[in-house]
Amino acid sequence: MFFSFCRFSVFALGSRAYPKFCQFGQDLDEHLRKLGAVQIHEVGKGDELCGQENSFKEWAFGTFKAVCDIFSIEVADNLLATLTASDIKWQPSIYRVRPVANTSLNITQALSETHNQNVVNCRLISRQNLQSNDSNRETILVKLEIAPNQEMKYSPGDHVGIFAFNSTEDVEIVMNHVLDRPQDFVDLKVQRQDSGFWKDQKRTPFCNLRTSLTYFLDIHSPVSQSLMEALATMATSEEDKKVLTCLSKDVNAYQKWRLCCGLSFVELLQEFSSLQFSAAFLLTQLPVLLQRFYSISSSQLHVPNQIHITVAVLKYTTLSPKCPRKKFGFCSNWLNEIPIGSEVPCFIRKENSFHLPENSELPVIMVGPGTGIAPFRSFWQQRKEEKSSGSTKSGKMVMYFGCRRLDHDHIYQEELTIMQFQGILDKVHVALSRQPEIPKTYVQNLMEATSSEIYQLLVVEGGHIYICGDAGMAADVTKMLMEIIKKENKNKNPDAVMEILNNENRIHRDIFGALALKLSSEESTSVACIKCS
């Protein structure tokens, strides 16, 4: 067999919040075996939500041992342990901070360098809640202005990456636990000892600790197990040490804690008040603060100097019935709270696989419940401008939108009506999942009810379908598409039709929502973690 010379082991990365956890890695393993390659160690799976580093260590240990066995290499156990130890693990003796001459840091430029992106400051010019006052949720239309001297080009379907900042209050909470708290005017660099020499570390820019904590370090995501392990050694109270040690060593206890409390670094410091650490610890061990992506909801043909986004303001309560906690998404709430006129650092990410077809005469079917509608606003704005300039003949545009209730969260209702009236959108189908006195309906149900129309536009007329929203919905819609092809296509093999659509890149997906974790009532009563029970 072609691959019989190949020995392999796969480590797959994923998140249990998504369906088909680590499926790609699993499939890769299966395919390699089918091609004749020899699996030397079973697939390892790293869950972003829990214990990823430990899973990797276990897999790396097993794989390395298997390799040694196969090649008859004798390795001492202590060497194996060293090989699989994490080199980012906190070792106080190998890190230090040193003052540097004032760097007069330009934050935007530093964000560009840290993230290897062309970050530009846009200005927040307007924010509007698109849901009604009767709804207990918020979805906001955020309008950002591009400064005249800035070059920022995007196409409908592209994403914008946004950097939010940590608040002064939260940064102060962290600073209060720093043993060697440096003065705010002292810029710092981090050094790591390597073969007897101190070498500069450039993970984040050289600047004062407050600036690092405000713009470059993540203090809001749930604390990882490896960070917890390091923190356990820094608690000065025995009780704090005991709980943190248990959480850092026991995967099950940690998993329960993630569901029950899932504390961020800032929240953890409030619960475990005896924690004390050095500036070097923060600068080397806290994760780097990352951008959040948003599908652009505007067309530059319509608003040349603006970027619009549609943001669901994330608020949820943790699952513990005993001590539920209110949680607020970091970036979406920041965008909802900063004053109008604030600067918002951002960059454009091209999403070539989600652009409108080059031939604008081709039909376009858009499926986007909730905030999944976000990129489609850029599509209809683009088609409207193209149409009014008379430059092209536009193909049909059909929208499948879904929300809970017409009077709560039918976002962009007025705009959709106008677009229909102006002949930009040919049809708008709205699925309502919680409308009183109406059976629950989802976008895939409406697709089923209009299957002949979908088949005509997509298969017969060579159109494109765009699906945007959470992974579960996208899977259901894809399944329904297959059903529609099966039903409407009397002669051909539906798999062959699907293959043509895929090969011609006529099915486009923009997936961004994880599944909310759900527990059975039995599970939820046992979810109280070591800290709460």
Ligand X SMILES: Cc1cc2nc3c(=O)[nH]c(=O)nc-3n(C[C@H](O)[C@H](O)[C@H](O)COP(=O)(O)OP(=O)(O)OC[C@H]3O[C@@H](n4cnc5c(N)ncnc54)[C@H](O)[C@@H]3O)c2cc1C
Beta strand ranges found along 102-240 (DSSP E): 120-129, 139-145, 159-162, 187-194, 197-201
Residues 307-346 that bind ligand X (CB under 6 A): 310-312, 314, 316, 329-332
Least spacing, CB of residue 292 vs ligand X, in Å = 4
Instruction: Please state, in angstroms and rounded to a whole number, the distance separating the CA atoms of residues 351 and 354.
Output: 6
Least spacing, CB of residue 11 vs ligand X, in Å = 22
Least spacing, CB of residue 189 vs ligand X, in Å = 29
Rank residues 115 and 292 by Cβ distance to ligand X and give the closer one.
292
Rank residues 46 and 363 by Cβ distance to ligand X and give the closer one.
46
Least spacing, CB of residue 242 vs ligand X, in Å = 26
Segment interacting with ligand X (CB under 6 A) among 53-61, 192-200, 306-314, 394-402:
306-314
Q: Which residue has the tokens 């599509």?
A: 379
Least spacing, CB of residue 331 vs ligand X, in Å = 3
Least spacing, CB of residue 260 vs ligand X, in Å = 11
Segment interacting with ligand X (CB under 6 A) among 63-71, 146-154, 413-421, 514-522:
514-522
Rank residues 104 and 128 by Cβ distance to ligand X and give the closer one.
128
Rank residues 270 and 388 by Cβ distance to ligand X and give the closer one.
270
The SS3 assignment for 327 reads: strand
Rank residues 482 and 514 by Cβ distance to ligand X and give the closer one.
514
Least spacing, CB of residue 300 vs ligand X, in Å = 17
Segment interacting with ligand X (CB under 6 A) among 98-106, 123-131, 300-308, 508-516:
508-516
Residue span 266-295 as binding mask against ligand X, x where in contact by CB under 6 A, dash where not: --------------------------xxxx
Rank residues 262 and 463 by Cβ distance to ligand X and give the closer one.
262
Rank residues 60 and 119 by Cβ distance to ligand X and give the closer one.
119
Strands 7-8, 38-39: parallel, antiparallel or unpaired by DSSP?
Answer: parallel
Evaluate whether 385 touches 302 at the Cβ level (below 8 Å): yes
Residues 4-43 that bind ligand X (CB under 6 A): none
Helices H, strands E: what count in the chain? 20, 20
348: CB partners within 8 A, 6+ apart: 118, 152, 153, 154, 158, 159, 160, 161, 296
Given candidates 210, 220, 355, 377, which one binds ligand X under the rule CB under 6 A? 220
Least spacing, CB of residue 372 vs ligand X, in Å = 8
Residues 148-207 that bind ligand X (CB under 6 A): 159
Q: Which residue has the tokens 């929300």?
A: 403
Give strand pairing partners of 466.
366, 508
Backbone angles phi and psi of 256, in degrees to 5: -65, -40
Packing angle, helices 77-84 and 52-70, rounded to 10: 140
Rank residues 463 and 513 by Cβ distance to ligand X and give the closer one.
513
Strands 326-328, 315-317: parallel, antiparallel or unpaired by DSSP?
Answer: antiparallel
Rank residues 235 and 473 by Cβ distance to ligand X and give the closer one.
473
Phi-psi region at 104: left, alpha or beta (left = phi > 0; alpha = psi -120 to 50) = left
Instruction: Please state, in angstroms and rounded to a whole number, the distance separating the CA atoms of residues 459 and 470.
Output: 25
Packing angle, helices 413-421 and 374-388, rounded to 10: 30
* Cα 394 to the center of its chain, rounded Å: 34
Rank residues 90 and 512 by Cβ distance to ligand X and give the closer one.
512
Evaluate whether 164 touches 334 at the Cβ level (below 8 Å): yes
Least spacing, CB of residue 336 vs ligand X, in Å = 9
Rank residues 233 and 316 by Cβ distance to ligand X and give the closer one.
316
Residue span 455-494 as binding mask against ligand X, x where in contact by CB under 6 A, dash where not: ----------------------------------------
Residues 359-398 that bind ligand X (CB under 6 A): 371, 374
Rank residues 302 and 325 by Cβ distance to ligand X and give the closer one.
325
The SS3 assignment for 92 reads: helix
Closest to 244 (Cα-Cα) out of 219, 269, 217? 269
Least spacing, CB of residue 412 vs ligand X, in Å = 13
Evaluate whether 213 touches 168 at the Cβ level (below 8 Å): no
Segment interacting with ligand X (CB under 6 A) among 79-87, 378-386, 407-415, 513-521:
513-521
The DSSP result for 260-303, as a single string, is HT--BHHHHHHHSTTB-B-HHHHHHHSPBPPPEEEEB---TTT-
Segment interacting with ligand X (CB under 6 A) among 3-11, 55-63, 228-236, 509-517:
509-517
Q: Does 519 participate in binding ligand X (rule CB under 6 A)? A: no
The tally of CA atoms less than 13 A away on the side-chain side of residue 248 is: 16
Least spacing, CB of residue 330 vs ligand X, in Å = 4
Name the residues that contact ligand X, by CB under 6 A.
159, 220, 292-295, 310-312, 314, 316, 329-332, 371, 374, 512, 514, 516-517
